[in-house]
Chains A and B, each alone.
Chain A
Amino acid sequence: MINISNVGRRYGTFVALEDIDLQIKAGEFFSLLGPSGCGKTTLLRLIGGFDVPSSGSISIDGAPMSGVPANHRPTNMVFQSYAIFPHLNVAENVAFGLNILNLTKAEKQARVDEALSRVRLVGLGSRMGSQLSGGQRQRVALARALVMKPKVLLLDEPLSALDKKLREEMQVELRQLQQDIGITFVLVTHDQYEALAMSDRIAVMFDGKIAQIAKPQEIYQNPTSRRVADFLGGMNFLETANMRLLGENVVADVAGFGTIANKRRGDEMIDPAKATLGIRPERLRIQWEDEKAKNEISGKVLSRHYFGEVTNLVVQVEGQPRPLSVVETNDFGADGIPVGSLVRIAYDEDAFVLMKE
């Protein structure tokens, strides 16, 4: 659907994007995830035709986009600021693009009504943009883009201006909407939970380059680099010694844990000199006194950080230079495990994550 090959973008000496190769499939919800300044918005603007690549090419639905301005591309964009025309009301905003097409009044009206009902804004057509709440403005921007029936909808941090509760509701709603209409969505976000919750696939970007492209589960469970792992949720990077290839496995001596074998995926090349082993905090389980697990380590609680649903414990495990972060569920009583206690922590053998770099 969208074929981005070898795309680069330079501003003077500043390299915003470098060697971007990316194929986005038809009907896919694809997210570009990364910290601010990683080039994700630049890439979105290149797809939308608001900027031109310094090198490489982009094609959409088989048609090369070089020299095609934004107004002739089969894409529509939901802007971060929503860009609601302040001098027009909601219905006029939604009809803006339709006025350029040759439609009868009735057809136009029908499409505006359909778009407004899709984003649940029926009855607000005569409101001015400034009379709307943030969530409603976001819906107007969405309706205004969708009414054009684009092949690709581009979304530039569409939820970043909303408060947490509304943002979570809109994540579900956007995903549902995308499933209903079945067109390709390309979302730019710096919020890993947003990307994980909504996308079919995610491209994680750092410093103008794509670090990893994968499905949400894959990218969370098998990040290829320390950086990706660190950006998507918490990760305990473990101190290892004598990492080596052993048949299908990568084996390492992990202080406190013993010898850990990690199966290699596919024919992936792993350089033991560069690879890192890690474990997610939620894969480390605090044990009740009467519990006994096959794999256990012990440590001392250094501090605790309460988040409501869960509490994050920082535990010093013998042998590991850095304390580990462990998720404690709230079933350890109201006060949880006090700082200074000695705890036993269970883990599964398959919980370790091997990162190439």
Chain B
Amino acid sequence: MSARRRRQGAGVLAVGVVLLALAFVVPENRVLLLNAFLAYGALVVGLDLLVGDLRMMPAGHAAFFGAGGYATVLLYQKAGLPLPVAGVLAVLIVGLLAALIGLPAVGRSSGFSFAIITFAFGELLIQLIANVPGFFGGSSGLTIDWGVGSDMPFDFSVYRYFTLWLVVVLVVVMGVVVLVRNSHLGLRMKAVRADENGTRGLGFNPTTYKGIAFVLASMLAGLVGVFWAPMNGFISPDTLGVNQSILLLGMLIIGGVGRITGALVGVALLVTLPALFDMDPVLRTVLVGGLLAIVALLQPSGIVGGLASLWTRLRRPRTPPPADGAVDATLEPAGAGR
């Protein structure tokens, strides 16, 4: 397990170095697009802790991203806290919110109930923001003036400066996911995914591990929001909506659940490519829907999952056919004919 952890950790660092280099060389008119890739990448990789590792389908993951952003802006502007302190507190607040929602939700994670409860949480948050405009800025959102812009390091623009931070966020999220997957916690989560009653029989409470994963994934989403809101200088309730949550799920399912590369490929396909080719929004919707349908029908393990299966098949040594009359014992089903 430790060799795998070292290999995956090295992979995460390598991706971080490449993205960091990209932050320096990407043309100014593509910086925002890179930032979107990094932010969505971190969101989808974090979401995979629920979908890939536990087969839980939250329909309100974007709400925690938005909650992180709103909490940062409010703590900075209304409470007057320094931005780093506001960010740390925002992530903790998101964790608390997730625990409050998570306790009743994860115990009923038989798919439908969990999705409905998380969806309801997102919609509740939107209504709260829209109906308390004095504090939350209402449906038009909140702007943030964090008083920096002219003295960026490396003479970076504000957006490019945030690229560096978003690279760090993505590397942190990937690192957390790798650590969890290669830990005893990850082993327990895989067991819960395979057979909940089996884990109870071993003395583990599946609800505990679902709860931990839910809070952790939500805090990672909140962390992205902490950087996204100041980068944009603005946050609105649209960020929290179910459309965003479904888009995040779509990216993950199309790219391939259970793999960091799957999440990143999904983001590249549904966020980066349409923007690079200036795709019409209607066409983009068709792309998302079409790819989802194709993947669901033909390759439920996603594009990367499919490619990995193909690679495994190609690498498997071909065995010559048995000589006439010979029976390959390995092809006999267990217990057959005895």
The answer to whether A and B assemble together is no
